[in-house]
C-alpha cells in the first residue's frame, strides 16, 4: 500500500526564527500591519507501508532520525492513503 505522510516541522516556542523575522520586516516595509511571522516546513512523503499505523510509525522514526531536530523543533504528522 502507498501512503502520503504530511509532516509539518516548526520551531518550538521561544526559539528564534530569523526567516520569519526577516519576512515580517519586509512585509512591514511594504506597508502591512504585521505583528509576527513564523515559518515552518512541510514534507509530503509518498511511502510504501503495509498498514496505516506502520506508515505512521515509520514517519515518526524519519522525523526523529532526519526531518526534525528534537532540541528546537516540534512536528505534526498526518497520514493519508494514496489513491
Site residues (vs its own copies, CB under 8 A): 2, 8, 10, 20, 23-24, 26-27, 30, 32-49, 58, 62, 65-67
Q: Write out the H or E segment, with its range, that includes residue 77.
A: strand 73-81
Q: Which is nearer to its own copies, 43 or 56 (CB)?
A: 43
Q: Rounded to the nearest whole angstrom, what is the least distance from the CB of residue 8 to its own copies in the complex?
A: 7
Q: Which is nearer to its own copies, 12 or 38 (CB)?
A: 38
Q: Rounded to the nearest whole angstrom, what is the least distance from the CB of residue 46 to its own copies in the complex?
A: 4
CA distance 9 to 12: 9
Q: How far is CA 50 from CA 30, 69, 80, in A?
A: 50, 27, 13
Amino acid at each position: 500500500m502507498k501512503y502520503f505522510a504530511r509532516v509539518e516541522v516548526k520551531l518550538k516556542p521561544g526559539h528564534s526564527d530569523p526567516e520569519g523575522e526577516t519576512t515580517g520586516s519586509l512585509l512591514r516595509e511594504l506597508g502591512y500591519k504585521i505583528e509576527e511571522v513564523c515559518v515552518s516546513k512541510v514534507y509530503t512523503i509518498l511511502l510504501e507501508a503495509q498498514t496505516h499505523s506502520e506508515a505512521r510509525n515509520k514517519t515518526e522514526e524519519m522525523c526523529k532520525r532526519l526531518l526534525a531536530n528534537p532540541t528546537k523543533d516540534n512536528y505534526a504528522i498526518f497520514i493519508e492513503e494514496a489513491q
